[in-house]
Amino acid sequence: MAYRRSRGHVRGTFVRDASFVKKPNLVFFDLDHTLLSGDSDVLWCDFLMARGILDRATFAQRNAAMEAQYKAGTVSAEAFAGFYVGTLEGRSAQQWEPLRREFLTNEIIPRIPIAAMQLVRRHQSAGDLVVMTTATNRFITELTAQHFGIEHLLATEAQISNGVFTGRTEGTLNMREGKVWRLEHWLAARSHTLEDFHSTAYSDSMNDLALLEAVDEPVAVDPDPKLAALALARAWPVLRLHPVAHE
């Protein structure tokens, strides 16, 4: 522990210099294509189409187009979140629950790289405050967060009225700049600011540029081409968690 000599005190006495006190670590993990080899929203649509819950003729092309626009950064947060939250419309959480658990078991867990789980575990074992932050809605992703043992989840919220999903979003979308807004308000509710921590964020996508720029230590994980170029230019660390990097 570093100390400084206190001004105006008896010679030889010292007080602790707050500037040398180590800050606690706060770690943000994006989910899709970062901790997961795939996109939860896209996989959810594929899962529902395979079971005849969504009409393949209607949704397959729209699902693929939405994924491509997201990767290109050309889709609005409202259009992206609204499309996928719309798949929940007309059913209650209780009605969706068996399918949600099947989705986790069959589609999500097999796509979690061992290296991703090990990385999360290392941060948890070190006592870091770990947060999963994702543009995908909470209902689809909260079981994934639980599987990782991550208590804190920031996600897009799906609106519920009279116990039934309306197919609309609620509140600020947890996407692009919205991720920073949501994390700041989450911290404020805990009587903290980002400056109270040494912060790290892991992400694969330029869609998370605002988040990566907000933290002390941005880490690009199997980055898309735009983020890879930016990480190289800014000397950000690049981490490989997936056997084959996505394009």
Among residues 17, 32, 196, 224, the one annotated as catalytic is 32
CB-based contacts of 7: which residues, under 8 Å, 6+ apart? Answer: none
What does the DSSP 8-state code read for residue 1? -
Among this protein's residues, is 30 annotated catalytic? yes
Asked if residue 221 lies in contact with residue 120, where contact means CB atoms within 8 angstroms, the answer is no
Joined together, the tokens standing for residue 36 give 């997961």
Cα–Cα distances (Å) from 115 to 121, 180, 221, in that order, read 10, 26, 11
Max intra-chain CA distance, the chain: 82
Which contacts qualify for 95-104: CB closer than 8 Å, 24 or more apart?
96/139, 96/165, 99/47, 99/48, 99/51, 99/53, 100/139, 100/140, 100/143, 101/143, 103/43, 103/44, 103/47, 103/140, 104/143, 104/144, 104/147
Query: Angle CA(119)–CA(125)–CA(129) in degrees, nearest 5?
Result: 85
Cα–Cα distances (Å) from 221 to 15, 159, 191, in that order, read 42, 31, 30
DSSP states of 43-64 as a string? HHHHHHHHTTSS-HHHHHHHHH
Among residues 17, 30, 216, 224, the one annotated as catalytic is 30
Among this protein's residues, is 224 annotated catalytic? no
Q: Rg of the chain over CA atoms, in angstroms?
A: 21
- Active-site positions read 30, 32
